[in-house]
Structure 1
Amino acid sequence: MSWLADTLRAYPEIAVFLALGIGYWVGGFSYKGFSLGAVTATLLAAVAIGQIPHLIISADVKHVFFLMFLFAVGYGVGPQFVRGIAKDGVPQALFTVVLNVLCLAAPIVAAKLAGYSVGSAAGLFAGSQTISASMGLATDAINRLGLPADQTKALLDAMPTAYAVSYIFGTVGSAVILATLGPLLLRIDLVAACKEYEATLGGAKEFGGPGQAWHRYELRAFRIPVDGQAVGKTVSQLEAIEPEGVRLFIERVRRGSNIQEATLDFVLKPDDVVAVSGPREQLVSLLGAKGAEVGNGGSQVVSTLGVKALEVDDPELLAVPAEGVDVFVTDKAVDGKTLQELGKLPAARGVFLRKIKRGPTETLIPVLPNTRLLRGDTVTIVGRTQDTTAAAKALGVLDRPSNVTDVAWVSLAITVGALVGAVVIKASGIPITLSTAGGALIAGIIFGWLRAIHPTFGRIPEPTVWFMNSVGLNMFIAVVGISAGPGFVSGLQQLGVSLFLWGIFATSVPLILGMLIAKYVFRFHPAILLGVCAGARTTTAALGMICDAAKSQIPGLGYTVTYAVGNTLLTIWGMVLVMIMT
């Protein structure tokens, strides 16, 4: 152990990676759904390592990684943040501001009543609201107070202590309050509310998915008899007589030994074999074996499409080049349109929507007829390669897998943001500045929004965004924990029990008041109300529990805009809290 301590003192960079390794490993364990998470586990590991005397790590390390982290945060929330402020997310954005003010006020009140220092107040805020990023801006603000070095260090060392103690209830408590207490307090039948909301969107329960044998979409072959009603009709005429809500498409046609693509003006003849694609339930109900007579080639049926057909097995015809691709939605023409409206566009022919992901947390949005598609969404579509390509062009751009990051763009964007944030304006002798960290966050929001509109530059693949978010923050946390190690134990002994209780107060009061305001002032629909609250408090764990309780993904519809606004404001609050407390 003596050799290890000497080695870490000589090579402090090893200590940082040791804290990260232990933090991610321990943080990956869970008990009955609860986990410390990588951030808290890394902090505790770093504090333990920091007990080694004279272990010093340059503060520049944490600043570099924190700028990277904040830019990634802004980049991820940019599209939803701008939309929430500028368009139809305004009520949700305004509610988020109200709840975030409560989230700032409660820790300040607790700190004032308990007589805590600015450092402890900042840590209490960060832990009780589970917003680790705020500690970075609070650190910058404390460093600019102009206090003697020993006082500044004491304040900074108090921050991680308060954070670690209050974080546990901040995570678990917020999830329990929203998912368990919330429906009881507001008298909401969450399951019924979500079913009602789904009905307004024209929805039904979704089945299937990865790992299941059942597949939503199929391609089947049918032979047109001599007396078939399809004889002499074009493909477009047949597809046009589908009942409302039905989406079946003729993809290919076999005529004799020749196979050709089915264009809209293609005229069908007797004995043609057509490949029809569509949702399984529609294929079964419209082309299935109701009233069937068994023939040599399969089941003879009468379709409501006006096709008296015989299902056959034709592997060559059914060998249609198809793919499932992700598309990044950027086109103004489709922004805010419902899926039902988009399904009528020419480019939607032969294409089926499998999944919609929204926001930096990739919240799954229900695929329902009246669900609205927004710029910045990522949609997964399936169909023939030529059809998905045409649909992608109408929606935005194909988001094909890539591991290449536009590093030049990212670096210059962070530079511009940090330079703007470094500007200091004095008002009545008081220095006012965004700080380099705040500048990097705002730069991320702006450039993330620009990327959503013009996705021809600034690509950051999803794994890279995760790395910048997770490792960037935890590098910062590791350095903070190691530096604060010597004073952590004494601080915990002095403030432990009372700090934990004040943490409960700071976590619970804003959430309870926020839920009541959301219901009685903003009057959000019960199905999305708790999702709105979870997003405004940026508690993803709570959203998971809410969706489980609701047995639906509908609450996620209220999460994305509020998360984007809340994540930004709560991070900035770290700096604001220091200004208010001093």
Structure 2
Amino acid sequence: MSGTLISFITQTLQTVPGLAIFLALTLGYAIGQIRLGPIQLGGVCGTLIAALLIGQLNIPVDADIKNIFFMLFIFALGYSGGPQFFANLNAKNIQLGLFCLIEVVVVLGLVLTATVVMHLDPGTAAGMMAGAATESAVVGTATDAISRLDLPASEIIRLQGNVVTAYSITYICGLITIVIVTSQIFPLLLRTNLRVDAEKLWVEMGGQIDTEGISALPTVVGRVYRLEAGAGKTVADLQQRLEQGSSIVRVQRHGRTLALSPSLRLRRNDQVLLVGYRGTVIEMARILGSEVADTNSLTAALDTYHVILLEPTMANRELRDLELPTGVHVAAVLRGDAMLPALPATRLQVHDVLQIYDTNPGRAPMAAPVLSKIGKMMPDKLASNLAIVGLVIALGTWLGSFKLNIGGIDFSAGTGGGVLIVGLVMGWYHARRADLHSVNADALTLLKDLGLAGFIAGVGLSSGPQALSLIMQYGITLPLLGVAIAIIPASVSLVVGHFWLKLRAPVLLGAIAGQQCSTPALSAIQNACGNSTPLLGYTITYAISNVVLPLMGPLIVGLASSLQPL
């Protein structure tokens, strides 16, 4: 009976490969949720493991299905990453861009050396690079490059299978290695208490540490104080002390809300509602008086705006330098997918999205002068313009068809590289024109996740039968190479960042996690720091590496192919 059931399942999956793909997604994301300490494989790696196992049933997956998933992923990757990629290409950020250069040069050198010494084929070399550098997108660009090699169809399928198998082995090893090294070993080598150093940096940037010694969240907050020490002062006097840090929003006297004006003179026992940066609001206690616990009778509504920063003069300027009207505060800074601490000393980048609170709701004229100075207010974009997806993929496919011969070796961006480049440019343009109908951010996330996981599942299913043979061929060598290729470039960056660039430990470790596009490593570092200061280094290197590393797929395939014996 069991044999009949297995035969039925096998026949069904072979007949309907789409069912096998989504089965791999289901099982893979379940596997990816398993957490061992700070280590979590994630949905993509889990999907690959599930696909390789299911693929032992010899399930054929049409190449067109895999290509559709891949093009959707690479479009979303470029379109969403374009604004921050170009925003970080400036003289101020060039020092952190050096980390990405180290990653590319060192990893390429190590992979090519291993290719020569161990006689690796182009597929295994590319998969090893993708896994050890923990950059899943390289799998797609490399397999796309292999499909254009002048080889028999059976050999192309074998090499593409080797990409996936080598990736799965070295990714797990590289992921575990980079998480442990950046969050545990490197702080010991730097001889620093990471939490203490992160708290000092937080305070220097204008943050506040609470009574338990844990960093307060960088958000706009409201607090009510009963006036004692500040009695006799006018609203204008106190607002001058507050500057842009916070604002007086409401004043209540004997249960009655007073009309707020700069000349209003405050009396003892007046209740004052402050809204603004948490650190500034807390510090005002010694100037105003004791905090009131029951605030139900004194509340205020806030208008919220999301503004994309486009003013070039604000690039690399501190948040405190924004000229905002009284009562207007930045509650959060979104850079790419990362939420930066909105502290007074946080440095801004063009195309950052600022979440702005106005403590005077309904003050419509406020928007025009503020937005004209710093950028454009982002409209609610719940719908997506799918014409952009088709245009980018079409232009990218055309661009990827061109070849460049260097030293007798043909190089081409391929479909993946072409779509990525066009997506970067189109994403950058639409970030500057926030008023245009573009692609919803949540839709981009879905396209990116589903596209990559679906592509990985399709390639893993096709590669299942030959995966065991590659593992048997190289044994423990591939895992060891995965560890080495993860550690060596990170160690070089540690030395350069500490001794030459003189970066603070949280920023340095965040930059190293970013150069490897390792979100799990960032999470481990943030847990060790106790706050989000590592994001200051991570966002820049991640934005650059997330674009540059996928372009290395065709390059490593071309170079490894040229090193093959005739």
Give the TM-score normalised by the residue count of structure 2.
0.86
Query: Residue in 2 aligned with 1:376?
Result: 351
Separation (CA, whole Å) in 1 of partners of 2:363 and 2:312 = 21
User: 1:410 corresponds to which letter in structure 2?
Assistant: V
**1:12 to partner: Cα distance:** 1.6
Query: Residue in 2 aligned with 1:320?
Result: 300
User: 2:110 corresponds to which letter in structure 1?
Assistant: A
Q: State the SS of the aligned residue for 2:334.
A: strand
Query: Residue in 1 aligned with 2:361?
Result: 385
**1:578 to partner: Cα distance:** 1.0
**1:570 to partner: Cα distance:** 1.2
Query: Residue in 1 aligned with 2:158?
Result: 154
Query: Residue in 2 aligned with 1:412?
Result: 391
Query: Residue in 1 aligned with 2:3?
Result: none
- Residues 401-422 of structure 1 show CA distances to partners (whole Å, capped at 9, x for unaligned) of 6431121223222322222222
Q: Structure 1 residues 415 and 457, CA, compared in 2 at 3 Å: closer, same or farther?
A: farther
Q: State the SS of the aligned residue for 1:56.
A: coil
Separation (CA, whole Å) in 2 of partners of 1:327 and 1:159 = 42
Query: Residue in 2 aligned with 1:570?
Result: 549
Separation (CA, whole Å) in 1 of partners of 2:145 and 2:184 = 37
- Residues 286-310 of structure 1 show CA distances to partners (whole Å, capped at 9, x for unaligned) of 33249xxxxxxxx9xxxxxxxxxxx
Query: Residue in 1 aligned with 2:23?
Result: 18
Separation (CA, whole Å) in 1 of partners of 2:501 and 2:221 = 40
Q: Structure 1 residues 267 and 548, CA, compared in 2 at 3 Å: closer, same or farther?
A: closer
Identity of aligned residues (%): 29
* Residue 140 (structure 2) pairs with residue 164 (structure 1): no
Q: State the SS of the aligned residue for 1:198.
A: helix
- Aligned match of 1:77 in 77, 81, 87? 81
* Residue 341 (structure 2) pairs with residue 341 (structure 1): no
Separation (CA, whole Å) in 1 of partners of 2:501 and 2:240 = 44
Separation (CA, whole Å) in 2 of partners of 1:405 and 1:68 = 14
Q: Identify the range of structure 1 (3-12 vs 428-437) with the bigger mean alpha-carbon deviation.
A: 428-437
Asked if 1 retains the 8 angstrom alpha-carbon contact of 2:51 and 2:460, the reply is yes
Q: Structure 1 residues 485 and 258, CA, compared in 2 at 3 Å: closer, same or farther?
A: closer
Asked if 2 retains the 8 angstrom alpha-carbon contact of 1:351 and 1:387, the reply is no
Query: Residue in 2 aligned with 1:353?
Result: 330
**1:394 to partner: Cα distance:** 5.1
Structure 2 residues not aligned, in runs of 5+: 1-5, 562-566
User: 1:277 corresponds to which letter in structure 2?
Assistant: L
Separation (CA, whole Å) in 2 of partners of 1:524 and 1:418 = 41
User: 2:154 corresponds to which letter in structure 1?
Assistant: D
Q: State the SS of the aligned residue for 1:217.
A: strand
Separation (CA, whole Å) in 1 of partners of 2:342 and 2:429 = 26
Q: Name the Cα RMSD after superposition.
A: 3.5
Query: Residue in 2 aligned with 1:6?
Result: 11
Separation (CA, whole Å) in 1 of partners of 2:346 and 2:504 = 15
Separation (CA, whole Å) in 1 of partners of 2:261 and 2:388 = 43
**1:251 to partner: Cα distance:** 4.8
Q: State the SS of the aligned residue for 1:357.
A: strand
Structural mapping, 1:98-109, within 5 Å: 98-109=102-113
Separation (CA, whole Å) in 2 of partners of 1:241 and 1:489 = 71
Asked if 2 retains the 8 angstrom alpha-carbon contact of 1:78 and 1:447, the reply is yes
Structure 1 residues not aligned, in runs of 5+: 291-298, 300-310
User: 2:246 corresponds to which letter in structure 1?
Assistant: R
Structural mapping, 1:106-505, within 5 Å: 106-205=110-209, 217-218=221-222, 220=224, 229=232, 237-242=236-241, 247-251=246-250, 262=260, 276-278=273-275, 280-282=281-283, 284-289=285-290, 315=297, 318=298, 320-332=300-312, 334-342=314-322, 345=323, 347-360=324-337, 362=338, 364-382=339-357, 383-386=359-362, 390=367, 395-399=374-378, 402-426=381-405, 430-505=409-484
Separation (CA, whole Å) in 1 of partners of 2:256 and 2:199 = 50
Q: Structure 1 residues 331 and 414, CA, compared in 2 at 3 Å: closer, same or farther?
A: farther
- Residues 420-467 of structure 1 show CA distances to partners (whole Å, capped at 9, x for unaligned) of 222334567644321121011112221222222221225333321221
Query: Residue in 2 aligned with 1:302?
Result: none
Structural mapping, 1:80-91, within 5 Å: 80-91=84-95
Query: Residue in 2 aligned with 1:32?
Result: 37
Q: State the SS of the aligned residue for 1:321.
A: coil
Separation (CA, whole Å) in 2 of partners of 1:58 and 1:276 = 64
Q: Identify the range of structure 1 (189-198 vs 446-455) with the bigger mean alpha-carbon deviation.
A: 189-198
Q: Structure 1 residues 206 and 448, CA, compared in 2 at 3 Å: closer, same or farther?
A: farther
Asked if 2 retains the 8 angstrom alpha-carbon contact of 1:531 and 1:555, the reply is yes
Give the TM-score normalised by the residue count of structure 1.
0.84
- Residues 237-265 of structure 1 show CA distances to partners (whole Å, capped at 9, x for unaligned) of 345542667633245789999976x466x
Q: Structure 1 residues 150 and 289, CA, compared in 2 at 3 Å: closer, same or farther?
A: closer
Separation (CA, whole Å) in 2 of partners of 1:380 and 1:207 = 27
Separation (CA, whole Å) in 2 of partners of 1:418 and 1:255 = 71
Q: Structure 1 residues 285 and 324, CA, compared in 2 at 3 Å: closer, same or farther?
A: farther
Q: State the SS of the aligned residue for 2:174.
A: helix
Separation (CA, whole Å) in 2 of partners of 1:214 and 1:122 = 41
Give the paired residue count: 544
Larger radius of gyration: 1
Query: Residue in 2 aligned with 1:295?
Result: none
Separation (CA, whole Å) in 1 of partners of 2:421 and 2:382 = 25
- Residues 536-572 of structure 1 show CA distances to partners (whole Å, capped at 9, x for unaligned) of 1111111111122222321210111111111111111
Separation (CA, whole Å) in 1 of partners of 2:314 and 2:210 = 24
**1:524 to partner: Cα distance:** 2.6
Separation (CA, whole Å) in 1 of partners of 2:243 and 2:154 = 74
Separation (CA, whole Å) in 1 of partners of 2:210 and 2:434 = 31
- Residues 91-126 of structure 1 show CA distances to partners (whole Å, capped at 9, x for unaligned) of 111331122211222222223222221111111111
Q: State the SS of the aligned residue for 1:85.
A: coil
Asked if 1 retains the 8 angstrom alpha-carbon contact of 2:92 and 2:316, the reply is no
